[in-house]
Amino acid sequence: MRLKCIVSYDGTAYKGWQVQPGLLTIQQVIEEVLSSVQNHKTPIVSSGRTDAGVHAVGQVFHFDSTMDISCEKWQYILNSKLPKDIRIQEITEAEESFHARFDACWKHYDYRINTGVFNPFERNYALQLCKPLDIDKMRETASVFVGTHDFTAFNK
């Protein structure tokens, strides 16, 4: 059975999504919990990756299981074993052909900049610039991207 999971996490304490030897990552933590529940190594496949310190709301991943456990029970089990900064929001059964990375339809990124007084409650969720942005300079700089460009050098 293939299970599609929606996860949200605060990435402050992690070195990104993808497993990296010797570093704490979101994927590593989830795979360790899944592997302990299933009593065998359980890899997960995600819709994408995040960098160190980056947070996610609604990131999708999938894993396979032969265990007869309902999706609701899976969610309860995983959340009871995961740290509080990683939460499984939803689990549904997916077609065997479902692939979190290749079936992703869209991704949305938010970048937050605080231009006001330093906010200690937002320190991990927004750039604390604490000064006004020069919008005219930003428009001038961004103008170099207007038009048709060949970005194939940035592709695999």
pLDDT per residue over 37-67, tens digit each?
Answer: 999 999 999 999 999 999 999 999 999 999 9
Q: Is the dihedral of CA 53, 56, 61, 67 positive or negative?
A: positive
CA separation for the pair 114, 108 (Å, rounded): 20
What residue spans of the chain are helical by DSSP H? 26-38, 71-81, 135-142
Active site residues: 51
Question: Mean pLDDT throughout 95-113?
Answer: 94
Q: Which of 45, 51, 60 is closest to 111 using CA atoms?
A: 51
Quote the pLDDT of residue 90. Answer: 98
Whole-prediction pTM: 0.86
Q: State the average pLDDT for the chain.
A: 95
